[in-house]
A = this chain, B = another copy of it.
């Protein structure tokens, strides 16, 4: 068993509660000498407070749980967001317990994650953007476990990027630089709200400017060996064909994510179209993505801010669990890089 407060107190020749107060910085009333003796004892003995005991007594775990899906491409937390959450929590002397739950299991209440089955955190951060089961939401509400949803636009208790704004931001950047023929590109894929909203942002911005909105959807990559040459793929072929087929090629493109941008750059390269000389590309994404060393001009999602907000909203929710917290929408930032320029 590890060093306990009792041993520290004995070593410093003082009562246990006194040692507790002093080590928690509430020992102003104790003599300078005593304070030093206790700290000294703690240091030499290598005392580390037992958080379980503290939590048992105080009723606060000083811990937050993070719930995420284990689906490979959906709702896996991005490193930036995780880091931001950890930093914010650490600053408040709290820690983070992580759990991942497979989509199938979450629908079966038998397989509820431990964080929800057991009482071990003061609140939950939820990053589970797809099909979060109603029942679990209810269960969380019933169990009175304070929770904040990330990356999901709900009526309350959530933080998420303003994706309409992201679309507008990327579009505005190009408009400001004189582009008039701008197309929106996306792969087909999941049903996250960002998918519609980013496109709507693009469309409204174009329409508000009195321009035509166009968008093209391409099939997600899939490997297809054509003539033994793996360099031909349906997606690229389509993109190249598309680039060449247009009577009047757009001067700029906004893409749903860096992946579309990357594919577009590759297709452009294969078609002999120079980026950004002949074609500007602005992506929307977690970070400025680099395609073969070229940084893609991007509307970057406010992940750091989202982590901070999520934590501080959660703490507020923990303080007064009954009160609903107003949904918080955060704005992306445009980061200039090498794939867009003025016409």
**Docked CA distance A144–B100 (Å):** 29
Please name all residues of chain B whose beta carbon is closer than 8 Å to the beta carbon of A294 when the two chains form the complex.
Answer: 223, 230-231, 233
Given contacts A119-B50, A228-B277, A230-B276, contact A83 B95 (CB under 8 A): no
Residues of B within 8 A of A116 (CB): 48
Q: In the bound complex, do residue B275 and residue A231 qualify as a contact, i.e. CB atoms below 8 Å apart?
A: yes
A100–B86 touching, CB < 8 Å? yes
A231 touching B274, Cβ below 8 Å: yes
Complex interface: stretch among A8-16, A169-177, A262-270: A262-270
How close is A188's CB to chain B, nearest CB, in angstroms? 14
Interface pick from A54-62, A126-134, A151-159, A249-257: A54-62
* Nearest neighbor of A61 in chain B, beta-carbon distance: B52
Instruction: Check if A83 sits within 8 Å of B70, measured CB to CB.
Output: yes
Choose from B95, B221, B222 the contact partner of A120 (Cβ within 8 Å): B95
Q: Are A293 and B233 in contact (CB under 8 A)?
A: yes
Write 25 A-B pairs (CB below 8 A) sorted by A numbering: A46-B142, A46-B143, A48-B118, A48-B119, A48-B143, A49-B119, A52-B52, A52-B56, A52-B61, A86-B98, A87-B100, A90-B113, A90-B114, A95-B98, A95-B99, A96-B98, A98-B98, A221-B290, A221-B292, A221-B293, A223-B294, A223-B295, A223-B338, A228-B277, A233-B292
Q: Does A1 contact B (CB under 8 A)?
A: yes
Interchain CB contact under 8 A, B339 and A230: yes
Complex contacts, A51 vs chain B, CB 8 Å:
52, 118-120
**What mask results when residues 176 to 188 of chain A are scored 1 for a CB within 8 Å of chain B, else 0?**
0000000000000
Q: Least Cβ distance of A280 to chain B in Å?
A: 11
A117 at the interface (CB under 8 A from B): yes
Q: What residues make up the interface of A, taking CB atoms closer than 8 Å to B?
A: 1-2, 46, 48-56, 59, 61, 63, 70, 72, 76, 79, 82-83, 86-87, 90, 93, 95-100, 113-120, 142-144, 221-225, 228-231, 233, 235-236, 262-263, 266, 269-270, 274-277, 290, 292-295, 338-339
A62 and B2 alpha carbons, distance in the complex (Å)? 16
Please tell me how many copies of the chain the complex holds: 2
Separation in Å of the A291 CB from the closest CB of chain B? Answer: 9
Known: A48-B119, A56-B50, A263-B292. A2 touches B144 (CB 8 A): yes
On chain B, the residues within 8 Å of A293 by CB distance are: 221-224, 233, 235-236
Rounded to whole angstroms, the CA-CA distance of A223 and B290 in the bound complex is 9
Nearest 9 interchain pairs by C-beta? A221-B293, A52-B55, A51-B120, A48-B119, A56-B56, A53-B56, A233-B293, A52-B56, A230-B294
Name which residue of chain B comes closest to A79, CB basis. Answer: B76
Q: A48-B119, A86-B100, A230-B276 are in contact. List 16 more A-B contacts (CB 8 A).
A: A2-B119, A46-B142, A46-B143, A48-B116, A49-B118, A49-B119, A53-B56, A72-B79, A93-B114, A97-B97, A223-B294, A228-B274, A229-B274, A231-B275, A262-B292, A266-B266
